Structure 1
Amino acid sequence: MLKLSNNVAIPDWELQITQIRAQGAGGQNVNKVASAVHLRFDVLHSSLPPFYKERLMALSDQRVSKEGVIIIKAQTFRTLEKNKDDALRRLKALILDAVKTEKVRRPTKPSKSAKKKRLDKKTQKGRTKALRGKVQL
């Protein structure tokens, strides 16, 4: 189960993870290529909320096809488990980036206590600077 938020998760049966072994792999990269992973996720036939599906389909990313299939390839690590985890992490990041909406903050005025605190701090700094270098008796 890939958890996206408190109320949204993707069940394991919707994720298709296949191990890819390139033909004719040899030399130093044989372990790296043998542990490569392709993760396939069908957006349209998933249990995601409609808002998530719309945002993912509108995304201009080469990993999302026109049919609504996301394919993520991972082969940076030598072990199969780490590549699976990497692919799942990248899928989660892709989905969360697609559905992220910016918060609109209203500009607020500083309160009276905040203004007073700022002024006190400012005057205290001024007194300290004024006394710097002077000998006190």
Structure 2
Amino acid sequence: MLFKFRRHWETPWEVVDSKAVKPVYMYYDDEDSLDIVAVSDADTRGTYVFEVNHLTRTALRNAVTFSRQQLIHQVAKKGFNVLVLESWRLTIFRRGKSHRVEVMYSGRPAEALGKLPHLPPPPFMDVLHEFM
């Protein structure tokens, strides 16, 4: 069979809500401690899916934060250590009483020299307050 079809008895996941943050610069020229020596030609993107037992703001924040950490680990394998431009999209799915959270995190990797500043939280996390 060429295509795999969903079983008739499976209930599909329905989209409950979705929020997105457009690309935001995370570091600016006035930060003297950060010396950027190389920037990637393209953004790097990762999509991460989480099964959530109790849908709370904390669970959503943790999903976005963990997705960012995973993306930073992914770009570190290519020799980069910061994301100078970041964006994300969070989508909540529901099937019966189960919830699934999908986070698509994107960033422009760069290599910075010197001591890296404390990693700020992902941009515009307050958008998640609109979910609950």
TM norm structure 2: 0.26
- The structure richer in strand per residue is 2
Relative contact order, higher structure (CA 8 A, sep 6+): 2
Q: Which of these two proteins has the greater Rg computed from alpha carbons?
A: 1
Question: Structure 1-normalised TM-score?
Answer: 0.25
